[in-house]
Amino acid sequence: MPEGGEARERAEAARPLADRLRPRRLAEVVGQEHLTGEGGALTRMLANKSLGSMIFWGPPGTGKTTVARLLASEVDYAFEQISAIFSGVADLKKVFESARLRRRSGRVTLLFVDEIHRFNRAQQDSFLPVMEDGTVVLVGATTENPSFELNAALLSRARVLTFHALAPDSLGRLLGRAEEATGRALPLDAAARDLLLQLADGDGRAVLTLAEEVWRAAKTDEVLGAQTLLDVVQRRAPIYDKGQDGHYNLISALHKAVRGSDVDAALYWLARMLDAGENPLYLGRRLVRMASEDVGLADPRALTVALAAKDAYDYLGSPEGELALAEATAYLAAAPKSNAVYVAYKAAMRAAKEHGSLLPPKHILNAPTGLMKDEGYGAGYLYDHDQPDGFSGQDYFPEAMGRRRFYEPTGRGEEKRLGEHLARLDRLRKERGGQ
């Protein structure tokens, strides 16, 4: 083979497997059949040979860049790609000017912007004029929720299409393609192969990268088991951004599992967040919130347990302290639930805002001076401890407001007993002339 041919072959072999196996047709894209399959949104667009601006939203390694490139090829648009991480205003101006020149010659430009959420608001606004006059068809890719990260004006001019994390069967198809392309079977037993798919975490690029690591590490005729695979690849870190969607999605899942009294699911989501590197004290604070919002007076001990778990972690640190958080999570999930105090507090807050600065009734005001006594402060106050049943039944609301009912105990847990007690006090209040 000529020397130039050998160099090209070596260069091709050095390319990452994920790049070598990049689909050449839209039909070869796996895992996004809701977009690329029969009746899919992109399939319908291509049938009309016309594309509008789009935002591709989904996790890494799901084919966003590949699909954008294939779309441009299918409709014969010029393809330009920039990354918001490495580009600034000057780069955008150059791209826009090139697109304008093409447009004059009748060629449309598909501008693919990777990590578009990294652009600030002003930079995002710069796309609006060139989208509106047809200079570019914008396809932006983002791993973050567009509703939070992109301008409303930009979103109003682009359709958001969601890319899904690849399911295990889709990842398995990618492995099959890799084995066919390289002419080699992956040296993994069945359990290790399943584990490899799990480690890829829905990322097609990751599963091919992991496969390359296996081929490099395996000895001749060696078949790796699950534990050896973990030793070889040193485990891929979970996809989790503590300041973005991953964080909010998982804490929402934990909170709702606790609220739904699913102990096992709650422990799973707690473990997921801890495994991904979440600050355990943040989780401790959220457990305290769950205790007061969702367990409430159905089990008043829940708040004490949650506070103790937070303090225990603060005292022990990792890894011992995580067990206290797990104990609190299980306790809160298993406890009877009531949001009656939460609802009552919100209602009381609304009343406080609506009624302004009403004074307390004079009979419950202290009268440290003669003038205040003359004004009627403290007149008629009944000291509850001196009354029958330790209860006077007097009204403590502002006179102009009248008595209100905010707190409605449920019939669950300790709140059932509390509700019966309060109902008895209501009867006594009416008997003693209260409202």
Helix/strand/coil for 80: strand
Q: What is residue 235's predicted lDDT score, i.e. its pLDDT?
A: 62
Q: Where are the beta strands (DSSP E) in 41-166?
A: 54-57, 78-83, 109-114, 136-142, 159-162
**142 lies in the same domain as 260:** no
How many Cβ atoms are within 10 Å of 234's Cβ, its own excluded?
8
Q: What is residue 27's predicted lDDT score, i.e. its pLDDT?
A: 85
Locate 141 and state its tokens: 């890719």
Is 228 contained in some domain? yes
| Cα–Cα distance for residue pair 55/33, rounded to 1 Å | 17
Encoded amino acid at 161, one letter: L
| Cα–Cα distance for residue pair 322/274, rounded to 1 Å | 8
What CATH number does residue 137 fall under? 3.40.50.300
**148 lies in the same domain as 182:** no
Is 25 contained in some domain? no
**287 lies in the same domain as 386:** no
Q: What is the residue-level pLDDT of the chain in tens, covering all 435 positions?
A: 455 666 566 656 667 888 888 888 888 899 999 999 888 899 988 988 889 999 999 988 999 999 999 999 999 999 999 999 888 888 999 999 999 999 998 899 999 999 999 999 889 999 999 999 989 999 999 988 898 889 999 999 999 999 999 999 999 999 999 999 999 999 999 999 999 998 888 899 999 999 999 999 888 889 999 889 988 887 655 555 555 667 788 999 999 999 999 999 999 999 999 988 888 999 999 999 999 999 999 999 999 999 999 999 999 988 899 999 999 999 999 999 999 999 999 999 999 888 888 888 888 888 888 888 888 888 989 999 999 989 999 988 998 888 899 999 999 999 999 999 999 999 998 888 755
Which of 162, 189, 213 is the endpoint of a domain? Answer: 162
Q: What is residue 14's predicted lDDT score, i.e. its pLDDT?
A: 65
What CATH number does residue 300 fall under? 1.20.272.10
150, 116 Cβ separation under 8 angstroms: yes
Nearest residue to 118 (alpha-carbon basis) of 139, 93, 138, 146 = 146
**273 lies in the same domain as 151:** no
| Cα–Cα distance for residue pair 52/350, rounded to 1 Å | 46
**Which whole-number Å values give the CA distances from 395 to 359, 385, 426, in the listed order?**
13, 16, 11
Query: What domain count does the chain have?
Result: 4
Which residues touch 216 (CB under 8 Å, ≥6 apart)?
A: none
Q: What is residue 375's predicted lDDT score, i.e. its pLDDT?
A: 84
Is 340 contained in some domain? no
**Bridge partners for 139 per DSSP:** 54, 112
Half-sphere exposure of 379 (CA within 13 A, CB side): 9
Is 339 contained in some domain? no
Which of 268, 302, 334 is the endpoint of a domain? Answer: 334
User: Which structural domain range is residue 135 located in?
Assistant: 32-162
CB-based burial, 401-431: b 16+ in 10 Å, e otherwise: eeeeeebebbebbbbeebbeeeeeeeebbee
| Cα–Cα distance for residue pair 173/198, rounded to 1 Å | 14
Encoded amino acid at 346, one letter: K
**42 lies in the same domain as 113:** yes
Preceding omega of 336 cis (within 30 degrees of 0): no
Q: How many residues does the chain have?
A: 435
**280 lies in the same domain as 300:** yes
Q: Where are the beta strands (DSSP E) in 116-229?
A: 136-142, 159-162
| Cα–Cα distance for residue pair 48/54, rounded to 1 Å | 16
Whether the CA torsion 207, 209, 211, 213 is positive or negative: it is: negative
Nearest residue to 253 (alpha-carbon basis) of 238, 235, 273 = 273
**158 lies in the same domain as 176:** no
**209 lies in the same domain as 255:** no
